[in-house]
Structure formats: structure tokens, C-alpha cells
Amino acid sequence: MMSITDFDGEAVQLPRDQARFVFEIYNEWAGNNRHRLRQLAILQLLGNGWGKADISRAMESNRSNITRSIKRARASLAEFARKKGYNLDPGEHGIK
């Protein structure tokens, strides 16, 4: 199951059904977009404890591209979540 984290990598509790949210991310946000599917894979590896250097080797990319991809994916997913009505505000969950 995909974990949801803030920009510091801290876990965020979802206010609604997590399985539904993951389904919406996969089907609606990523869909058939290969770039977004790659971003999801990168976020999943990061959430599972992989370092950016290891991810860059696995994805055959340089670390700065991985870092930019993570930032863009998180921003895009945060906007998607807001539009879908999910409140992922880290401050509300006591996350810095």
C-alpha cells in the first residue's frame, strides 16, 4: 500500500479512506501518463526508505532530476488532493 508523506518524509494521516485515495491517484492523476507513473514509482521508493542516490541509479537518471521529479510530483499531488477534497495540510496533523 502506498504511504502518504509530507515534504519532510513524515507520514500524514488521511482523513478519508486511504485505499480510495490511492485508487484515485493511480487512475485519475496518473492514468496512462508514463511520466506520472514514473513519479509515483519514485515516491513509492522514497517512502520505502530508498535514498535519492539509489533511486537515481535504479531509474538511470541523475540525482538532481530525481529531486526535481519528487518536488513536482508532490506539488501536483497536493493540488490533486485539494481538488478532490482531501485535506493534507501537515500543520493540521502536527507535522512540521
Domain boundary assignment for the chain:
18-86
Report the C-alpha gap between 8 and 11 in whole angstroms.
9
- The residue assigned the cell 485515495 is 21
Q: Which of 17-21, 39-43, 78-82 has the largest mean confidence? A: 39-43
Report the C-alpha gap between 75 and 10 in whole angstroms.
16
Tens-place pLDDT, residues 49-92: 999 999 999 999 999 999 999 999 999 998 898 888 876 654 44
Q: Where are the beta strands (DSSP E) in the chain?
A: none
